[in-house]
Structure 1
């Protein structure tokens, strides 16, 4: 890492990493006793590289089992220095092939991967086909019925702004409040693939997957466009569609104040259909 920043306590160095991963083989991000999470694999790799007993990371946003990450951001404190390129190459040496550190940066102790995030971005990639996915199995969601673009676009716009999103909240959600501010909700299509993109101050547990269930019901004509507003207003999980598959969900990453000097996106951000 580069020379210690003046506002970092002597002997303590804070580093931020941008991490990408295929979540298909993992039980989500957050560490579990099984050790089969992305956080577990990353922290084990960091400990091996630094030769420390343990390294504890804090992330920008936890992802569920099967959900992928293109730019998960974490920070950690360690009592040693490394060049930023060394953090990338050294940590990747001990990571499995489906997890990779994309970048590393020195950050002040005032930086917090979760607390400093101004917004978070997700994309859901969906295959519309009478035949299930094969080559991209686990990397896209799937719907076999034809869908219409305009009804889904109109329904998505209903959700913009600050609302109580209780209708889209999992029962095990630990968020203090169901009120979130949805900044962007876009729907587009390229060939047989649909891309849904969302940006918000923060998201509730399963919020996007529950919204996806409703959008697909509308897009396939099973529900009218106005149903989305009714679901939102109901503030009840019972009013919404079933939770949709995690396969096509990607955490695109958080946004931060430019003063921190962190990348806005990471390699692979735009490869999705």
Structure 2
């Protein structure tokens, strides 16, 4: 039986999602816990392979259960074997042709940036930080340039293994909430470091180092070396994955934000998936 999980984790406790020989990843922790319940190795597949330090409020994972267990065993049972920084939120059986990565039609990410003169100790590893005042309106205007389908070569990591740099950005918003600047992005998929590189470029515009038009210029130039440095992973959250309605997943279409920061900024409504 194929099972789909919704997984939440604090990324500073792990060296990314993908399994590594040293075992300090989210996937390693989850598969170790699943093995305790199944009494045999259980390989997993996720919707989005997050980097070291990146958090998730709504990672989606599937696996093929090698044994029959109550659905509660894949939640409470697995959680009893997981470190405190990762938790399975729900589990549900799905048809064998469901795939956490390839069945997804969109991913939602949120970047939370604390914009104040002194770094915030209580938000260490949970929010990015920039000390100089940022103009959120300038950044919001610049972000409109990346909407639609584009070659995002200027915003991909040098080691990115994606076959194509072309992605379709459905939503890009920048909004201020007190001392926080919140960046929301939704696309069919993302390149390696793409969001952190986008945030880095927007911060350059927000601090006045570059004009609003710079975002469009970078996009057209397709040259990573001309863009801003990659921004910190600390404030980045995978907060939603969209799937066609046929899968009837819990909370489908609802974007799970970052409640621990209690930011009064609403998440974007997901687009209709019927056209996909």
TM-score of the aligned structures, taking structure 2 as reference length: 0.92
C-alpha separation in 1, matches of 2:30 and 2:254: 18
Residue 194 of structure 1: how far off its partner (Å): 1.2
Unaligned runs of 5+ in 1: 1-12
Distance 1:201 1:268, change over 3 A: closer
C-alpha separation in 2, matches of 1:141 and 1:79: 41
C-alpha separation in 2, matches of 1:166 and 1:68: 24
- Answer yes or no: is 1:165 the counterpart of 2:157: no
Q: Which moved more, 1:178-187 or 1:260-269?
A: 260-269
Paired position in structure 1 for 2:16: 28
Paired position in structure 2 for 1:8: none
Q: Which moved more, 1:71-80 or 1:98-107?
A: 71-80
Paired position in structure 2 for 1:58: 45
C-alpha separation in 1, matches of 2:226 and 2:172: 20
Residue 189 of structure 1: how far off its partner (Å): 1.4
Matches within 5 A, 1:122-161: 122-161=109-148
Matches within 5 A, 1:9-48: 13-48=1-36
Residues 149 and 188 in structure 1, CA contact (< 8 A), matched pair in contact too: yes
Residues 42 and 66 in structure 2, CA contact (< 8 A), matched pair in contact too: no
TM-score of the aligned structures, taking structure 1 as reference length: 0.93
Residue 265 of structure 1: how far off its partner (Å): 6.7
Paired position in structure 2 for 1:107: 94
SS of the equivalent of 1:176 reads: coil
Aligned residues: 260
C-alpha separation in 2, matches of 1:139 and 1:185: 21
Dislocated runs of 4+, deviation >6 Å: none
Residues 57 and 258 in structure 2, CA contact (< 8 A), matched pair in contact too: no
Residues 18 and 27 in structure 2, CA contact (< 8 A), matched pair in contact too: yes
Unaligned runs of 5+ in 2: 264-276
Residue 267 of structure 1: how far off its partner (Å): 9.5
Q: Which moved more, 1:32-41 or 1:82-91?
A: 82-91
Instruction: Render the CA deviation track for 1:134-153: whole Å, top value 9, x for unaligned.
Output: 00110000000001121101
SS of the equivalent of 1:158 reads: helix
Distance 1:270 1:33, change over 3 A: closer
Paired position in structure 1 for 2:62: 75
Residue 266 of structure 1: how far off its partner (Å): 7.7
Matches within 5 A, 1:106-255: 106-255=93-242
